[in-house]
Amino acid sequence: MSVIQQNTEQGLYSPDFEHDNCGIGAVVNIKGQKSHDTVANALKIVENLEHRAGKDAEGKTGDGVGILLQISHKFFTNVCRPLGIFLGSERDYGVGMFFFPQDELKRNQAKNIFEVIVEKEGLKFLGWREVPIRKEILGKKALECMPCIMQGFIERPKKVKQGLDFDRRLYVVRRVFEQSSDDTYVASLSSRTIVYKGMFLVKQLRMFFEDLQNPDYESAIAVVHSRFSTNTNPSWERAHPNRFIVHNGEINTIRGNADKMRAREENMESEHLEGELYKVLPAINTAGSDSAMLDNTLEFMVMSGMPLPLAVMITIPEPWAQNATMSQKVKDFYQYYATMMEPWDGPASILFSDGDILGAVLDRNGLRPSRYYITDDDTLILSSEVGVLDIPPEKIVVKERIHPGKMLLVDTVQGRVIDDQELKEETEKLRLVVNARAVCESDLLLDIVDDAFDAVAEKYNVKIKVFFSECFGMMDEGRH
Q: Which of 22, 80, 148, 471 is catalytic?
A: 22
Alpha carbon distance 254, 366 (integer Å): 18
Specify whether 22 is catalytic.
yes
List the catalytic residues. 22
